[in-house]
Structure 1
């Protein structure tokens, strides 16, 4: 991004993540982000909570950040209720098996929910360093026939897994925008998710059971979804699909992104002096020397190998 600005190009940064402020790694990451975005023309975030996070972390102007959510290919993620089990309730999890995705919570939920509800089966897709924890729970509690670990999935396989389920479970501890719950809702599943980050913004309240990021609250949410399923109080899978189709489609996302790009193209190209002033506000004064050296090097290259 720095090279692009020194070459006279406009820059747009898209942020999909949430970061904290307390630990040392977050402090370093946030300072690097602040330096990187000091002279950026515009930022795009996928949720309003993500926007607030980026504004605070990078100290960018609120008006220079737009919120444009991700979209889902609803021609691919189509409901198929015929694939669902008639005898059991299938809870689907599709996620990277890492701490941030709440795998520790998932392991505890499996241990508590399976003995209480014999009809429940877990179908888990994904891989990661926490996979061993789920394997250990399955072995210790003798749940081999009730907990299926599919391992890593290709994106083309996700729809087939989702359509086997009744309930989609998301146990994330932090999330700017959860694409998985949108894909699950598009396939007509009931969604149970932790109320963290930008997740409350993603789906209408009637399409999601929001819980606190702890085991008792998640189990209560799952049991509420199971009760509604057994008593026929669920929304039709095809109505879920149509709602997602109207809310999140790539045509709408691309049109909104084009508006941002058009706005940026109308802005004045920043001179190197303006770029230096922007970076001066970060307080990392040695970086001004880095920018100056990069500018001189680019000018030398421009002289040695002219752009024309």
Structure 2
């Protein structure tokens, strides 16, 4: 019988804040619980959400009171999270700590503390960062620190770093195995799609929908510049924009300056359950993001029968088939041209958007991603062999290199000296700083073990587990 685990999902980003990372954590957690695992969520406190909460399916959420500094990310302290994290982990008898999101302080600190406590760790990357600005360079260095001592990384990128382990197999096209690891939340029922029985005439209104956080990295500046030109080139079009953020002021000013109040509808922030109702009002979904690892919302748009226009960045080109999308460079001129192509294709009835829902439904399944994530857990805990986990054959050079760094079982070593060796190679100065952090973290762990012994921490009773399901595809 396959083993079950006690898993802690850790991230700054979780409900009640809406978003792709938040949805991914929730959906993955519930499906893992359906497969017999115990899952808890550790995140920071939100307004009206503090302490311990229970969600559907008995999913327990710990809302830790920490200072939030920007976009729901907590203030980095490195060590102050350790005492309460240790208390939660011991109370819940956690085996695996699974961190999410590159910009989540809780995620990085939890992985560091979990390794110090001798727990298995997994990191899921939900973002892409270049080297064009100081913030991105700093984030990449932070990722280098975390990934130096993690058991496995689930990567959404088309081109993963060569040092990272191979993502789980299971898709027919191995080139798409990274990005398709994140599945989407499909509508509960087949949506009432705007299915054109005839070609859209020149006077029929085409509605373009945008649902996004209005931040720079989501391409809001690009959207602000492109909307007047799109509406000028195509008189019988209108926009519906849902979302909030600091860039919403720029959009409102653009609407006023160009007198577009009757052609651009700003809905502001909307609830998750309202997304489908907004999408089915449109014909085209416009996604102008400047950086994106996956883009869950574009899968939702296609599922609702919208023709997708999106920027060709990150993992987006791997998400949907080419007949559902029109790609554009993250530039104003190209975005305007791509949107024009999509409008022309719809008016000529060249795209069968009414078929998109059934096609997308067969591509994505949360049960499938739960099975593949479970396979990662089995690999890092030694429940399956190294060769089966990484896809190496006996005597393969790659197998020997991995065994040299991870041990013959393929499981990452917890020994302090081995951890320091991994961190020391992160840079001339950064490596020494990282090693110092690990040593201080280890001393703090010894202090907590001495002054707050485990015997004094009450163990929480488990929520009744579901019977294990083994029907998922691998």
Instruction: Please report the TM-score for the alignment, with normalisation by the length of structure 1.
Output: 0.90
C-alpha deviation, 1:20, in angstroms:
1.1
Q: Distance in 2 between matches of 1:286 and 1:268?
A: 22
Which deviates more from structure 2 when the two are superposed, residues 132-141 or residues 176-185? 132-141
Aligned counterpart, 2:182: 70
Deviation digits for residues 83-124 of structure 1 (CA, Å, limit 9, x no counterpart): 999941100001111121222221222211222322101000
Answer whether contact 1:83 1:164 (CA < 8 A) is retained. Answer: no
Q: Distance in 2 between matches of 1:276 and 1:268?
A: 13
C-alpha deviation, 1:65, in angstroms:
5.2
Q: Distance in 1 between matches of 2:313 and 2:437?
A: 38
Answer whether contact 2:294 2:315 (CA < 8 A) is retained. Answer: yes
Q: Distance in 1 between matches of 2:220 and 2:185?
A: 27
C-alpha deviation, 1:273, in angstroms:
1.7
Aligned positions, number: 299
2:353 maps to 1:241: no
Cα distance, 1:236–1:113 mapped onto 2, change above 3 Å: closer
Aligned counterpart, 2:380: 264
User: What SS class does the counterpart of residue 165 from structure 2 fall into?
Assistant: helix
User: What SS class does the counterpart of residue 197 from structure 1 fall into?
Assistant: coil
Answer whether contact 2:307 2:325 (CA < 8 A) is retained. Answer: yes
2:126 maps to 1:16: yes
Q: Within 5 Å, which residues of 2 pair with 1:1-308?
A: 1-49=111-159, 52=160, 55=161, 61-63=163-165, 67=178, 69-76=181-188, 78-81=190-193, 87-237=204-354, 239-266=355-382, 267=411, 269-283=413-427, 284-308=431-455
Cα distance, 1:240–1:47 mapped onto 2, change above 3 Å: farther
Bigger relative contact order, structure 1 or 2 (CA pairs below 8 A, ≥6 apart)? 1
Cα distance, 1:165–1:298 mapped onto 2, change above 3 Å: same
More helix by share: 1
Q: Distance in 1 between matches of 2:250 and 2:189?
A: 30
Structure 1 unaligned blocks of 5 or more: none
Q: Distance in 2 between matches of 1:178 and 1:304?
A: 46
Query: Superposition RMSD on alpha carbons, in Å?
Result: 2.1
C-alpha deviation, 1:241, in angstroms:
0.9
Answer whether contact 1:207 1:240 (CA < 8 A) is retained. Answer: yes
Deviation digits for residues 214-268 of structure 1 (CA, Å, limit 9, x no counterpart): 222222221221122112111242x211121111110111111111111011125
C-alpha deviation, 1:304, in angstroms:
3.2
Which deviates more from structure 2 when the two are superposed, residues 139-148 or residues 227-236? 227-236
Q: Distance in 2 between matches of 1:39 and 1:108?
A: 43
Structure 2 unaligned blocks of 5 or more: 1-110, 169-177, 383-410, 456-474
